[in-house]
Amino acid sequence: MRVNKSDFPILQQKINDHRLVYLDSAATSQKPMSVIESIEQYYKKDNSNVHRGVHTLGSRATEAYEAAREKVAQFIQASSSKEVIFTRGTTTALNLVASSYGRSKLSAGDEIWITAAEHHSNLIPWQQVAKATGAKLCYLELQADGSLDLEQVKGQLGPRAKILAIHHVSNVLGVIQPIADLAKLIHQQGGIIVVDGAQSIPHLSIDVQQLDVDFFAFSGHKMLGPTGIGVLYGKEALLEQMEPIEFGGEMIDFVGLHEASWKELPWKFEGGTPIIAGAVGLGAAIDYLQQVGMDQVEQHDRQLTAYAYQRLSQIDGVKLYGPQESRIGVVTFNLGSIHPHDVATVLDTEGIAIRAGHHCCQPLMKWLEETATARASFHIYNDEQDIEALASGLEKTKEFFGNAIG
Amino acid sequence: MQLDDLYRRVIMDHYQHPRNRGTMDNDAITVELNNPTCGDRIALQMRVQDDQIKEAKFEGEGCSISLASASMMTEAIKGLKTDQALQLVTLFSSMMQGQEVDSDQFPLEDIEALTGVAKFPARIKCATLAWKAMEKGLAQKH
Ligand SMILES: Cc1ncc(COP(=O)(O)O)c(C=O)c1O
């Protein structure tokens, strides 16, 4: 695969006198120079507000912003860029679906289906919708490794199932869920599927039409892009039926003293000055990923994840969570009775960055019967050397705590 | 950054053999706090009579720093007047910000071992959880 670690300037540093080994890409990925430069260039040359100025810069900024939308549409195989709404991230995108679609379409007794493995951002918005509408929040049965048994799902989804909201890839277990099959099952019941793609889009090529998903949410910052920009993809027919949830400039057509009308898609959902530089940066991230090739990205990330799983399972005292197969991007574990915070602190002194805690998945932690776990996560700039560093860091951790405690 | 600055032997001792771990069944003040970013949880109970802390016990889950800190804190406040305990919270919080503290005021004893935490910003919240619970508990009516 053609990826140069040197494309990522942040990785060229030492942390606590060690080479930085960044294993926290599921929290946020690092950014290649091309993304950083695209933002700098935008501010140096084209910065202006969009969709209003008559002047040259106004046109350039508008073109840059809308070109980014086209890139996203093509990247996820949307049938039109009208279906691509820029948001602040996955959280905002999921809240938009829940508040606009959920609250207007559901009534008492309807069912919203999710899983116990959802990130809080795909759980709490639905709790709120359920409270506001009287709909029931229901949980699909998970297998011991966090995967789903489609036969079981089929038995659970009945005619009152109006929304299935589910992660594509779990940020804790790394499981890849069979989205196309799930879409079929919920469509058979006349419901819709909302997919949290935050952890899939960084690693897998996404074709929203092939998956036949109704909504698909993701964040730019986990796919080599900047923070502050994300996307809600929605099928045009559904978006057309939905009301905006934010009102103000940019999203209006005609405004009177007592009435106003909205712009057409996608702008009716983008009230206020948008995240222009963020969109430009996201466009550059897509260019970078496409230069590498999403097939290559997927292959690399799958192999490295499998290697990490294998390597960590050889360490005495390591307990791994989630499936061995059908997994990408993350490996979550615990090391004996050593608290993950303590593991992460020892690793940090070796220059190794991992995540420790509940990963915004408190119900999942409960389901795993753990209060916290440690997580190593990967992207294209990681290699087997990084996994070796992690493995020897874990050996050191055991030694240190063994000595300190023993 | 040196690991030994953080994980002093005294801390490890409190972590392994926490003092005052358990619950009380009398009408003690009870506070439950968690650290929402990492899932650490403490349930602290204190029995206060005539503005004096007679007894303190805790239960909870957390890392070495948070459990050791809870253990030390419950040791330190036993027998203190509530206003003294609150002064100790202030002192501890300055300590966590890396400030020099006047330890003549209070015999810090084991707590002194936690000074190293100030050098590990990500761990300060672990160390302060039990102290926040104590402060919150004393602010309750009793
Ligand atoms: C599975 C999953 N969903 C949603 C999110 C939320 O993304 P953001 O914080 O960018 O809105 C994350 C990121 O932590 C995630 O991992």
CA dihedral (A376, A381, A387, A388) positive or negative:
negative
Residue B99's CATH number: 3.90.1010.10
- Find, among B23, B50, B58, B48, the residue nearest to B133 by Cα: B58
Q: Is the CB of A171 under 6 A from ligand 1?
A: yes
Give the atom of ligand 1 at the shortest distance from the alpha carbon of A118: 1
Looking at residue A53, its pLDDT comes to 76
pLDDT tens digits for range A249-279: 889 999 999 999 999 999 999 999 999 999 9
Structural domain range at position B29: 3-141
Say which residues have a Cβ less than 8 Å from residue B95's Cβ, sequence separation at least 6: B101, B111, B114, B115, B118
Tokens of A154: 């089929």
Nearest chain A CA: its distance from B19 CA (Å): 16
Q: How many domains does chain B have?
A: 1
Give the C-alpha separation, A169 to A182, whole Å: 14
Residue A17, sorted as left (phi over 0), alpha (psi -120 to 50) or beta, turns out to be left
- Find, among B119, B97, B124, the residue nearest to A16 by Cα: B119
Give the C-alpha separation, B33 to B126, whole Å: 12
Looking at residue A3, its pLDDT comes to 82
How many C-beta atoms surround the C-beta of residue A180 within 10 A?
13
Residue A118, sorted as left (phi over 0), alpha (psi -120 to 50) or beta, turns out to be beta
Looking at residue A52, its pLDDT comes to 78
Tokens of B111: 């707590």
Residue of chain B minimizing CA distance to A350:
B1
pTM score, whole prediction: 0.93
- Could you give the strand order of the β-sheet that contains A318-321, starting from the edge strand earlier in sequence? A318-321, A330-335, A373-377, A355-357
Say which residues have a Cβ less than 8 Å from residue A328's Cβ, sequence separation at least 6: A169, A174, A176, A200, A203, A204, A298, A301, A302, A305
DSSP H/E element including B44: strand B41-49
B-interface mutation test, from A172, A342, A367, A405, most B Cβ less than 10 A away:
A342
* Residues of chain B contacting A, Cβ within 8 Å: 1-3, 6-7, 9, 12, 15-16, 37-41, 61-66, 120, 122-123, 126
CA angle B3, B8, B9 (to 5 degrees): 130
pLDDT tens digits for range A192-234: 999 999 999 999 999 999 999 999 999 999 999 999 999 999 9
For chain B, say whether A16 makes contact (Cβ under 8 Å): yes
- A270, A251 contact by CB (below 8 A): yes
- A219, A233 contact by CB (below 8 A): no
Q: Is the CB of A168 under 6 A from ligand 1?
A: no
The domains found in chain A, sorted by start residue, are: 5-29+293-400 (3.90.1150.10), 35-291 (3.40.640.10)
Q: Is the CB of A90 under 6 A from ligand 1?
A: yes
Give the atom of ligand 1 at the shortest distance from the alpha carbon of A91: 11
Give the C-alpha separation, A318 to B124, whole Å: 27
Residue A369, sorted as left (phi over 0), alpha (psi -120 to 50) or beta, turns out to be left
Determine the residue type at A72: V
A361 catalytic per annotation: no
CA angle A401, A404, A405 (to 5 degrees): 80
Give the C-alpha separation, A322 to A340, whole Å: 17
Distance A214 CA to ligand 1 centre (A): 19
CA distances from A66 to A85, A275, A390, B62 (A): 11, 12, 42, 48
In this prediction, the residues of chain A whose per-residue pLDDT falls under 70 are 1-2, 403-406
DSSP H/E element including A163: strand A161-167
Smallest Cβ–Cβ distance between B38 and the set A349, A372, A400 belongs to A372
How many C-beta atoms surround the C-beta of residue B18 within 10 A?
19
Give the atom of ligand 1 at the shortest distance from the alpha carbon of A219: 10
Within 8 A of A342 by CB-CB distance, chain B residues are: 7, 63-65
Looking at residue A371, its pLDDT comes to 86
Smallest Cβ–Cβ distance between A357 and the set B6, B37, B66 belongs to B37
CA angle A214, A217, A221 (to 5 degrees): 160
Within 8 A of A393 by CB-CB distance, chain B residues are: none
Mean pLDDT, consecutive 10-residue stretches, chain B (142 aa), reads 85 93 89 84 94 95 93 95 94 92 79 91 93 95 60
Smallest Cβ–Cβ distance between A356 and the set B15, B38, B61 belongs to B38
For chain B, say whether A405 makes contact (Cβ under 8 Å): yes
Q: Is the CB of A220 under 6 A from ligand 1?
A: no
Distance A120 CA to ligand 1 centre (A): 8
Distance A321 CA to ligand 1 centre (A): 19
Q: Is B17 exposed, middle or buried (0-12, 13-18, 19+ CB in 10 A)?
A: exposed
Nearest chain B CA: its distance from A364 CA (Å): 12
Cis previous bond, A266, omega within 30:
yes
In chain B, what is the greatest distance between 2 CA atoms, to the nearest angstrom? 45
Distance A199 CA to ligand 1 centre (A): 7
Q: Which of helix, strand or coil describes residue A297?
A: helix
- A266, A82 contact by CB (below 8 A): yes
Give the C-alpha separation, A183 to A164, whole Å: 8
Q: Is the CB of A24 under 6 A from ligand 1?
A: no
Helices A384-405 and A340-349, axial angle in degrees (round to 10): 110
Interface confidence: ipTM more than 0.90: no
Determine the residue type at A103: R
Looking at residue A1, its pLDDT comes to 61
Which among A124, A360, A365, A372 is annotated as catalytic?
A360
Looking at residue A404, its pLDDT comes to 52
Within 8 A of A345 by CB-CB distance, chain B residues are: 3, 6, 120, 122-123
